[in-house]
Amino acid sequence: MRKVVLGLLVAIVCFGASAEAQEYPAGEIFGGFSVYDGGSTVYGWQASGAANMTENLGFVADFGGQYDGVLGNAHQFLFGPRVRSPHSRWVGFGHALFGGQRLSASGFSTNGFAMGFGGGVDVNTDSGLGFRVVQFDWIPTRIAGTWFSDQYRLGFGVTVPLGD
């Protein structure tokens, strides 16, 4: 009898810890509005997909596009680790992203190395959807051998959790 009770306790502890560890989403998708300032302010979209390896650590692919008929267009494609701090109704996060940026204007375009250092806050609702209240990224880039470090991007929109 003691062996059975001990076995049940061990099973409850092991499976309970396993169930507790799975109470975070396997990932999330974000889509929304973007404001980019690289000397002039342009507007566009931002989207990302994240895979969560643990409750606090994940990997994100982040994309953005901002458009202006006079100033030109900017597109970012960034990838990297994300650290999460989940709370009951909101999740704070920070990330270090690396990838590229494409700038184009008047038939000319150029690509360069880009980084995105920042984070934000997502607010969750009971419906399963969430809202990215803000995402702020400092985006230093290296284009044609020159570093540009005065570029910033704000994003906000809707988040959708994937799996539980």
User: How much is the pLDDT for 163?
Assistant: 82
Q: What is the pLDDT of residues 116-126, one digit of tens each?
A: 999 999 998 88
What are the phi and psi torsion angles at 7 (to 5°)? -65, -40
Total structural domains within the chain: 1
- What is the per-residue pLDDT across 1-45, written as a single tens digit (0 to 9) for each? 454 434 433 443 444 433 344 578 899 999 999 999 988 899 999
The rounded percent of the chain whose pLDDT value lies above 70 is 86
Domain-embedded: residue 2: no
State the chain's mean pLDDT as an integer. 86
Domain membership of residue 130 (yes or no) is yes
- How high is the pLDDT of residue 155? 96
CATH of the domain at 46: 2.40.160.20
19, part of any domain: no
Say if 102 falls within a structural domain: yes
Instruction: Read off the pLDDT of each residue in 36-55 and give the average, rounded to a whole number.
Output: 93
Question: The domain containing residue 95 runs over which residues?
Answer: 25-162
Is 6 within the bounds of a domain?
no
Q: Which residues contact 70 (CB under 8 A, 6 or more apart)?
A: none
Q: Is residue 15 part of a domain?
A: no
What does DSSP assign to residue 89? S
**Residue 69: inside a domain, yes or no?**
yes
Q: What is the DSSP string of 66-127?
A: EEETTTEEEEEEEEEEEEEEE-SSEEEEEEEEEEEEEEEETTEEEEEEEEEEEEEEEEE-TT
**Position of tokens 């570029």?**
151
Query: Is residue 14 assigned to a domain?
Result: no
